[in-house]
Amino acid sequence: MTGPVGGIGPLSGKAPEGARPSKGGGNFAAVLADRMRVSSHAAQRLAGVQLPAELAQRVGDAVDRAAAKGARDSLIVCRDLALVVSVPNRTVVTAVTGARMHEGVFTHIDSAVIL
């Protein structure tokens, strides 16, 4: 699939090597998309979520650490946010925020990173 995903950036192609999100605030999904791909499903769930840009940096770093350990599908948890990430593809597959995170069961993962 190519073209914009949920209005936050292209799904095809990798994030630029060494890309870093901006230091300002803004829509978390848009800042995260500077660092990795975001599926349309995850983009819908993250629509309107306002989190600090440095959290997107931390998520990207967590994916780097998971990749170094050989992870394929990781659950990244921080604050009231959980992301399931395809590590080799650097793609956020789904996202769960707020109270829904505490109700969830996460399947099809082989690792977890707690930030």
Which of 9 and 69 is assigned the larger pLDDT?
69
Q: Over 50: is that where the pLDDT of 5 sits?
A: no
Which of 9 and 107 is assigned the larger pLDDT?
107
Q: Over 80: is that where the pLDDT of 7 sits?
A: no
Q: Hey, CA dihedral for 17, 51, 85, 45, is it positive or negative? A: negative
Query: Two tokens at 95?
Result: 């996202």
Lowest mean pLDDT among 62-66, 91-95, 103-107: 103-107
Q: In 3D, which of 79, 77, 31 has the Cα closest to residue 54?
A: 31
Q: Over 60: is that where the pLDDT of 51 sits?
A: yes
**DSSP string over 34-96:** TTSEE-HHHHHHHTT-B--HHHHHHHHHHHHHHHHTT-SEEEEEETTEEEEEETTTTEEEEEE
Q: In 3D, which of 60, 87, 59 has the Cα closest to residue 74?
A: 87
CB-based contact 48:95 (threshold 8 Å): no
Q: Residues 48-55: what's their mean pLDDT?
A: 84
Q: Over 50: is that where the pLDDT of 112 sits?
A: yes
Q: Residues 37-54: what's their mean pLDDT?
A: 88
Q: Which helix (H) or strand (E) holds 24?
A: none
Give the pLDDT confidence of 70-80 residue by residue, as tens digits.
999 999 998 88
pLDDT at 104: 78
Q: Residues 59-69: what's their mean pLDDT?
A: 95
